[in-house]
Amino acid sequence: MLGPGARRRAARPVVDPLEPTAFAEAAALLARAFRDNPLNVAVIGAGASARRRERCNAVVMRNLLRVAAGSGVLLGVRYAGVLAGGLVAAPPYGFPFPAPGVGAQLRALLVQGLRVAARWREAFERLQRRRPIEAHAYLGLLGVEPSLQRRGVGAAALEAWLARVDADGLPAYLETDREENLRFYGRVGFGIVGEIEVLGARVWCMRRPPAMAVSVAAALR
């Protein structure tokens, strides 16, 4: 029988590249992770059920993972053998990712409806106009299964990605619509460089200067 220490070691988050065979599972996870985010609710509608928001998210996440696989960074985090988190990032000038195929776009439109699709386009374009023109690594998504949050899953994914970013000597950039995330990202060197209201949701823009590698691991513990 494992003691408490052994059980903790067994449950440490493990970060690996996200393989295409896990895309469906990861899309469902990310759909749940972002379901209640303010921007997600604003786009899909405050009156939409949690199930509808998940359904709308899942089809978008599936398309995103497929198009990001060619040039982006896709990481999955397993906790006690279960996929618990996912990260999608882009290299300098690698975002936006290519558009999905026509069939994938039509499937997303059928699930979301014209109104939601148009509102996502508006949100995307507003955020895209605020992104820096300098070469930077872009953190598009970092999501954790809601029932497995506060176990170091997100921190493990972020640390693994930032190790690559720092090795390349790049600044990093992200947006977040959750105020509680400001401290999480601030601990590893991200600072607020702007705020924008998108469809009624408040979004913070954050930048991290290059060469912060020495502080990442300690800051996330």
CATH code where residue 71 lies? 3.40.630.30
User: DSSP secondary-structure letter at 156?
Assistant: H
Contacts 24+ apart (CB under 8 A), 189-195: 189/215, 189/216, 189/219, 194/130
Within a domain: 7? no
Give the pLDDT of residue 131. 95
Q: Using CA of residue 162, residue 163, residue 168, residue 169, what is the dihedral sign?
A: positive
Within a domain: 5? no
Domain count, the chain: 1
3-state SS, residue 132? coil
Give the Cα separation of 3 and 19 in Å (integer).
33
Give the pLDDT of residue 218. 54
Q: Which domain holds residue 93?
A: 13-220
Within a domain: 31? yes
pLDDT, tens digit, 9 for 90 and up, residues 42-90:
999 989 999 999 999 999 999 999 999 999 999 999 999 999 999 999 9
Within a domain: 43? yes
Give the pLDDT of residue 3. 45
Tens place of pLDDT for every residue, the chain, 221 residues? 444 444 445 579 999 999 999 999 999 999 999 999 999 999 999 899 999 999 999 999 999 999 999 999 999 999 999 999 999 999 999 999 999 999 999 999 999 999 999 999 999 999 999 999 999 999 999 999 999 999 999 999 999 999 999 999 999 999 999 999 999 999 999 999 999 999 999 999 999 999 754 455 556 66
Within a domain: 30? yes
Within a domain: 8? no
Give the pLDDT of residue 215. 54
Give the pLDDT of residue 11. 78
Contacts 24+ apart (CB under 8 A), 197-200: 198/39, 198/42, 198/123, 198/126, 198/127, 199/39, 199/42, 199/43, 199/119, 199/122, 199/123, 200/42
Within a domain: 186? yes
